[in-house]
A and B are shown apart, each in its own frame.
Chain A
Amino acid sequence: MEIRFISTLLLVIAGWSTQAQKYVAEKSTVSFYSHAVLEDIKADNAKAVSIFNQTTNDIAFSVPIAEFQFAKPLMKEHFKEKYMETEKYPTSTFQGKISGFDFNAKGIQQTKAAGKLTIHGVTRDVEIPGTIEKQGSKLLMKAKFIVKLEDYNITIPQIVWQNIAEQVEVTVDFVYKPQ
């Protein structure tokens, strides 16, 4: 009986402590910006999910592509149908490790995330510079990077090349709380 109690207690404590090492995004913004001859295109996505394991520094993102919001609905339709093919590739993901983050340090820390970025079904090894800031129990993570469309087999029809840039700037802004 006593053993049972202790083991249950241990289970709870151990469970709590492993859980506490993990952080989940409570607020997220992934946006991209494309600057082209005829048109600047910007889209925001607030439906991305992410999880960060503070002990192992493992991090993962999953971004539902259909949730990017554009100024014009037709842009969104073209983005989903022609460029990102969301029926085939509904999400973009990142899975990797963060380096240069000291959990006990204060202020904004310059960090790097190295791992696999998957967009449009194509997976590439990338290294993304970003910052992490600890605010109370929360972690603020920010990064900005360039995605070249051709790296991910995203083709632009000749006829609209003046409207769409060959590379887009992606900004990620996440707030994590302990799980």
Chain B
Amino acid sequence: MQDLVNIFVKSIFIDNMVFAYFLGMCSYLAVSKTVKTATGLGLAVVFVLGITVPVNYLLENYILKKGALEWLIGDQAATLDLSFLSFIMFIAVIASMVQLVEMVVEKFAPSLYTSLGIFLPLIAVNCAILGGALFMQEREYTSIGEATVFGLGSGIGFFLAIIGIAAIREKIRYSEVPAPLRGIGITFIATGLMAIAFMTFMGIKL
């Protein structure tokens, strides 16, 4: 239990997707003009990461890893290493999951669907999502519970980052930012300042 809590806190604050690894920057920069849209995208990312990371965990441990196919073909699996397929498999899972999520949301929550608009399908190409799957593989989580908690935590970390920058962008909308820096430029600088602030948590051992 304590392990799960540690992984959760760690993935939100210490290994924050945006501020520690600078992943998912494209949607982070593109959809952070207002807090409202940022909240929508952030929630969608939490949702997708929370589903794809455990699914990819199952794929990794029961199909792709060396010897993982033992449940299907017995001892022959010991030498069989399919992990070279992991990139393409993970991306396929993410893309199909996003499609599935999109259909479900459209069917059961049409108002949320319309407010998310293009951002929902865009998540398929958000590198924070693939990053989540690959970190899961690299860090060798030992149970599906850990993988789920890691996925959710990373999503919440991204959510915090994007609503934080969106609020800053709303605040500085009427500031006299020098012309060449308006828009994306000042957002990058603000992101850098936020990353400095997030160094608060670096080095905490859990």
Q: Do A and B bind each other?
A: no
